[in-house]
Amino acid sequence: MRSSAADLFPILVLAGACAPTPAEAVEPSVAIGAAVAERLGIGAADVEVGKVDISGPGDLDWTVELPRYGTVTGRVPVTLSASSEGHPVRFRVTVPVDAWLSVPVAQSDTLPGHDLVLGTARVRATILGAEKPVDPALQWEASTTLARGQPVTTLRARLAPSAREGASVTLMATRGAVTIRAPGRLEGDAFEGQPVAVTNLATKTMQSGTYRGGMVILGGS
């Protein structure tokens, strides 16, 4: 992968709007890779940067400025700064960048609405694009059909409810020193710490409360 001449734009040193990331590497591509690795929180060995053709001395210590927002993989606009014989030099270059990320993947084919069993695999960042991997510490269900080994992102999965509509729960209400309990039924999917509608089976009335570990707390949290 090589940057075309049209991608390189030498410019004057400006008062930078964003803080540069220092890099001690001699090769511009290595310096860019180190900056991308730092941004992504991965090792530099997991970053692949296309060759950058810049004319000049080969012993420069480049400072790299990545885009402040957005992705740093794909075709990434980068600013390179250095000092040559006491004179500042600066280049803008658009360079192809890819990275290997450890992300959650589906361990089996999963249909929409079914709970996901997650594994981990190394995937190229350019395959994910702008999609954000899910937090593997939480329980997720598929929102679209997922194949075994497919990355699980927030566009392809949603949080699985703590309890599903129709499940039996215990309703609890506290009035001063008195605590009252009654059987209930969920009238919607419940999420821990979130409000949910229930039917009080003792009074045959609809009520609402906060779901907490198999119970619904009425009239408060």
The full set of domain ranges for the chain reads 5-98, 100-159, 168-218
User: According to the model, what pLDDT value does residue 25 have?
Assistant: 39
Longest dimension (CA), the chain: 86
Q: Which CATH architecture has domain 168-218?
A: Roll (2.30)
Question: What is the pTM assigned to this prediction?
Answer: 0.65
pLDDT of 5: 41
Question: pLDDT digit of tens for each residue in the chain (221 aa)?
Answer: 444 444 444 433 333 334 444 444 358 899 999 999 999 999 999 999 998 877 665 667 888 999 988 889 999 999 998 887 778 888 899 999 999 999 999 999 999 999 999 999 999 999 998 899 999 999 999 999 999 999 999 999 999 999 999 999 999 998 888 899 999 999 999 999 999 999 999 999 999 999 998 899 997 55
The predicted pLDDT at position 176 comes to: 84
Query: For residue 55, what pLDDT is reported?
Result: 64
Give residue 48's pLDDT. Answer: 95
Strands (E), the chain: 9-10, 21-22, 47-49, 63-65, 74-84, 87-106, 118-124, 140-142, 157-159, 168-175, 178-186, 195-200, 205-212, 215-218
Q: Take residue 161 and report the two structure tokens written for it.
A: 């409810």
144 with 131: CB under 8 angstroms?
no
Structure tokens at 190: 């419940």
